[in-house]
Amino acid sequence: MKVLVAMSGGVDSSVAAALLAADGHEVTGVTMKLWGGASDTGCCSVSDVDDARRVADHLGIDHHVFNFGDDFERFVVGPYVVDHQEGRTPNPCIECNRHIKFDRLLERAAALDFDAVATGHHARVVRTGSGAPRLARGADRAKDQSYVLHMLSEEQLECLLLPIGHLTKADVRAMAERFGLRTAAKPDSQDVCFITSAQGRGAFLDERIELTPAEIVGTDGTRVGEVAGVQLVTIGQRKGLDIGGHPEPRYVIDVDVQGARVTIGSADELLTDSTLLSDLAWTGAPVRQPVLVQASAHGDVAEGTVVGTTVQWATRHRRIAPGQSLVFYAASNGEQVVVGGATADRPGD
Amino acid sequence: MVLARTSGPTQPRPSLERVSTSRAYLDHAATTPVRPEAIAAMVPAMTETYGNPSGAHRLARDARRALDDARDVLAEGLGCGPGDVVFTAGGTEADNLAVMGVHGRHGGTVVCPATEHHAVLHAVERCGGRVVGVDASGLVDLEALADALDDSVTLVSVMLVNNETGVIQPLDPVADLVAELAPRARLHTDAIQAFCWLDVARLAARADLISVSAHKFGGPKGVGALVVRPDVSLAAQLIGGGQERDRRSGTQNVPGIVAMAAAARASIDTRTATGARIGALRDRLADGLVDAVAGLSETAVGPDRDRSHKVAGSCHVTVEGVETEALLVLLERDDVFASAGSSCASGAQEPSHVLAAMGVPRPVALGAVRFSLGWCSTEADVDHALQVVPAAYDRLLEFAR
């Protein structure tokens, strides 16, 4: 079949393209140019496009570059900034996948008469008993990316190929060597592609929004310090706050941007019985039984039950910063499969 | 497996079956195939007259003679003396040398319209210059230009033909304004897109500096020239052996230069006939597209379809809602090769600064496609394009709804 494979210039998508070509598919590579600004590695630098192009040349497949910069600004960078401004902790990689890779790219692939889109994500598409597609964790649990792909609908999963989901990262690199791909030893990309490690999140946001000070208080309301940019503080944060000495570790347990107030508390005070949800979406039918909930890209899972617009934790759970995605997994045929997702909300918002 | 769509057409989509086995290269404004005359001239310059033209022995003198013969051809074609021709490694270098060379020597303020090629625009920006607006057809706004001119201005750069839209800029009104309001200023014109279609010697007679590039008129890539009138002094941007009368150091690219001269000769000799022939082909292509594609608009061309203000090879169109990138992929599948007119180093299509300056809304500009014909374009190219292009638009318009 005719497959459009998204090639970032990294080893995973290089091997994905190689495997599809080896399977005899009619493969076309595409690199999405998303960000014109500074980037450590990201997905958009000319050298990454060159890597993707040269891998495509090596495989004998066509390669195009699509510029989705306008959409990236509109759906990823803009909301990322606004979220911070409003006291949320966004996950831009999820928004990029949602709006760019699996909205714009799928749409364009359809217009260009491709049968499927493939990516080099570490995740798999599996089938339920009734044959419906579900997203399952990649074979390499440490590299699993099902969290950032959780929003994919059944319809989208039907036309998605994840050729390396059944491989470990070590397998992928070994295959890249065997295919003779120049990206075999290329380091993994890290962090948010549009923020450089030299500049950092604070400086990036400082150029775009006004960072305002806030007082830091204890749970009893006593003032214990001050922070220069409340928009940069996130729930669960322990480091980087000037609050003097405390015998016990102190965590941020609430951030009120409007009220210019950050509340800190003990490890126990960080825990909560339930978390408020917004944008709750199930892949198939809503699940009333307990599910395994993951609240960060490579975090642990905890058991919880979705009741109305909250998740009730089986055992008290760390508070989750508003804006963070919660992904719900259920056990099926021995796999952990994504059954839904939501965004953590702030009580009172 | 068929790609799912959340909402979309259920009626049959236009077919993407290949319609024929021919191909249509319609990207001559990007680059042209090399003319046989140029190749014929180039080979002996690599196998026989391969000496260094700065040298003293006979092989060197042979190379020198080939270089000087080429210089004579360019001088005649550009309406200047042979000593005014500075050979460069292409159009970008010629443009850079004009802007940064004059600014580097004389300082002051440099001025250009917003629709210049980046080779001029970025050089003007680097020199801290002034960028002036254009009207809806891309012609320089003479009032804005007048406002930007004063005694501090040392260079005004206005391109003769825009590389995206193909619109011809009359230089006389510009030269008049410069003479009146910026007496110190030199006038540079980027004639890179003009040379194969127009009598640059006549149209740029009042320019002090003129850029041309070989690969836009059937010569090889990586070679061009800057005309520098005898009374113009500039700071060399490449220094070393002092070649090109100290205006551009570096051993001359003799094979490239003799090939450029052969291409220039052929281009000039056939210019009138080629312009008439290609103009008719272009009209048939443009008319065919306007008639066949709903919502297609021809840039800087009115409903009367008068295209006399454009060069003969240029057909620039937009369709709102059809993204250039997607269209070009479909066209390429059927061997129609065109372009957006602007792209960045990664190969991604960039929204055009030219169209933005002309006031074209961004959603429209993102659907811009430049079809450009050249010296070797044929009726068959247009036939093939008219078979392929409307079908590709139909399909994408179907998906855009």
DSSP characters over B335-355: TEE-B-S-B-TTS-B---HHH
The Cα A161–Cα A119 span in angstroms is 7
Spatial distance between the Cα atoms of A289 and A306, rounded to a whole number of angstroms: 8
Nearest in space to B75 (alpha carbons), one of B217, B256, B200, B249: B200
CATH of the domain at A295: 2.40.30.10
In a domain, A201, yes or no: no
Mean pLDDT to the nearest integer, B320-325: 92
Q: Are residues A32 and A174 in the same domain?
A: yes
Q: What local confidence, expressed as pLDDT, does residue A43 receive?
A: 47
What's the rounded Cα separation, in Å, for the pair B204 and B98? 15
> Coil, helix or strand for A265?
strand
Same domain, A172 and A218: no
Residue A154 lies in a domain: no
In chain A, the percentage of residues whose pLDDT exceeds 70 is 97
- State the smallest CA–CA distance between residue B165 and chain A in angstroms: 22
Give a yes or no: residue A233 inside a domain: yes
User: Is the domain of A168 the same as that of A71?
Assistant: yes
Strand partners, A281: A341
* CA torsion angle B100 B102 B105 B107 (round to 10): -80
Of B17-26, B155-164, B263-272, the least confident: B17-26
Contacts of A313 (CB under 8 A, 6+ apart): A272, A273, A274, A275, A293, A302, A303, A304
Would the CB atoms of B4 and A112 count as touching at under 8 Å? no
Same domain, A52 and A173: yes
Q: In what order do the strands lie in the sheet with A116-118?
A: A62-67, A26-33, A2-6, A116-118, A160-161
Establish if B89 touches chain A: CB-CB under 8 angstroms: no
Of A99-113, A127-141, B7-21, the poorest mean pLDDT is in B7-21
Ordered structural domains, chain B, with CATH: 24-34+271-400 (3.90.1150.10), 36-269 (3.40.640.10)
Over residues A85-101, the pLDDT tens digits come to: 999 999 999 999 999 99
User: Hey, are the CB atoms on A67 and B399 less than 8 Å from each other?
Assistant: no
Helix axes B118-126, B91-106, angle to 10 degrees: 20
Tens of pLDDT, residue by residue over B160-205, are: 999 999 999 999 999 999 999 999 999 999 999 999 999 999 999 9
Determine the pLDDT at residue A230: 95
Same domain assignment for residues A13 and A86: yes
Which chain B residues are closer than 8 Å to A107 by Cβ? 5, 399
Residue B351 has pLDDT above 90, yes or no: no
Residue A17 maps to a domain:
yes
Tell me, yes or no, whether A125 lies in a domain. Answer: no
Tell me: do A41 and A167 sit in the same domain.
yes
Q: Which of B89, B123, B87, B105 is nearest to B232 (CA)?
A: B105
Structurally, chain A folds into a number of domains equal to: 3
A 10 A CB-CB count for A258 gives 9
Cβ-nearest to A111 among B4, B362, B396: B396
Q: How far apart are CA A151 and CA A106, in angstroms?
A: 14
d(CA B239, CA B104): 13
End-to-end CA distance of chain A: 47
Instruction: Answer yes or no: do A29 and A175 share one domain.
Output: yes
pTM of the full structure = 0.89
Question: B354, B342 in Cβ contact below 8 A?
Answer: yes
Complex-level ipTM: 0.85
E strand or H helix at B371, and its extent? strand B368-372
Judgement on whether residues A23 and A64 belong to the same structural domain of the protein: yes
CB contact under 8 A, B4 and A159: yes
A86 and A167 co-located in one domain: yes
B236: pLDDT strictly greater than 90: yes
A132 belongs to a structural domain:
no
Q: Specify if A185 maps to a domain.
A: no
Q: Which are the contacts of B290, defined by CB distance < 8 A and separation ≥ 6?
A: B296, B298, B305, B317
Task: Provide mean pLDDT across the span B258-286.
Answer: 98
Task: Look at residue A126 and tell me if it is in a domain.
Answer: no
Query: Is the pLDDT score of B5 beyond 50?
Result: no
With contact defined as beta carbons under 8 Å apart, do A184 and A173 qualify? yes
The pLDDT of residue A156 is 96
Which one-letter DSSP state was computed for residue B225?
E
Q: What residue in B sits closest to A32 (Cα-Cα)? A: B348
Looking at the structure, tell me whether residues A35 and A170 fall in a common domain. Answer: yes
In angstroms, what CA-CA distances link A210 with A78, A206, A260, A331?
A: 15, 6, 13, 45
- Mean pLDDT value across residues A163-185: 96
C-alpha closest to that of B247 among B45, B57, B71, B110: B71
Residue span of the structural domain in which A116 resides: 2-120+163-179
How many other CB atoms are there within 10 angstroms of residue A347's CB atom?
11
Distance between CA atoms of A271 and A274, rounded to whole angstroms?
9
A86: Cα within 13 Å, side-chain hemisphere? 13
Q: What is the pLDDT of residues B112-145, one digit of tens each?
A: 999 999 999 999 999 999 999 999 999 999 999 9
Query: Residues B3-25: what's their mean pLDDT?
Result: 55
Judging contacts by C-beta atoms under 8 Å, the chain A residues touching residue B366 are: 70
Exposed, middle or buried, B82 (CB in 10 Å: 0-12/13-18/19+)?
middle
In terms of C-beta density within 10 A (0-12 exposed, 13-18 middle, 19 or more buried), how is residue A188 classed? exposed
Those of residues 202-261 in B touching chain A at CB distance below 8 A are none
The predicted pLDDT at position B207 comes to: 98
Mind spelling out the 3-state secondary structure of B124-155? HHHCCCEEECECCCCCECHHHHHHHCCCCEEE
The last residue of one of the domains, among A265, A287, A309, is A265
- Same domain, residue pair A279 and A241: no
Higher pLDDT, B401 or A96: A96
Residue B271 falls in which region: left (phi positive, over 0), alpha (psi -120 to 50) or beta:
alpha
What pLDDT sits at residue A195? 87
Q: Counting runs of H as helices and runs of E as strands, what totals does chain A give? A: 9, 17
Query: What is the Cα gyration radius of chain B?
Result: 22
Interface test with A, best of B324, B342, B343, B346 (most A CBs within 10 A): B346
CB-CB under 8 Å, B399 with A110: yes
Q: Does B294 contact A at CB distance below 8 Å?
A: no
Query: Annotated catalytic sites of B, by residue?
Result: 344
